[in-house]
Homo-oligomer: A and B are copies of this chain.
Amino acid sequence: MAKKLNVTPLHDRVIVKADAAEEKTAGGIIIPDTAKEKPQRGTVVAVGAGKKDEPVTVKAGDTVLYGKYSGTEITIDGQELLIMRESDILAII
């Protein structure tokens, strides 16, 4: 899991560390770049306090799926992270 960050996302935003793209299939066959999966998998590293009457559902440590183009890239303490709204997260794995 990504280490604890010194950052608090605002409201319904969450910060996610993207998994490295899987270079191999389960069976160990190297797949070319164009066959990589579309939605990204990542780990939540920080969550906001939610909106007034709607707390954030995901929590730090959750592995999540999110759209490939979701969020804004930020670099904190040398780590490349993504900050997105919780509504950009599709599912918890």
Where the two chains meet, the residues of A that have a C-beta atom closer than 8 Å to any C-beta of B are 6-11, 13, 15, 26, 37-39, 46, 48-49, 52-54, 57-58, 65, 67, 72-76, 78, 83, 86-87, 89-93
Check if B10 sits within 8 Å of A93, measured CB to CB.
no
Check if A91 sits within 8 Å of B52, measured CB to CB.
no
27 contacts between A and B (CB under 8 A): A6-B93, A7-B65, A7-B91, A7-B92, A7-B93, A8-B92, A8-B93, A9-B90, A9-B91, A10-B57, A10-B92, A11-B87, A15-B91, A26-B78, A37-B74, A39-B72, A39-B73, A39-B74, A46-B91, A48-B91, A52-B53, A65-B74, A67-B72, A74-B91, A76-B93, A83-B90, A83-B91
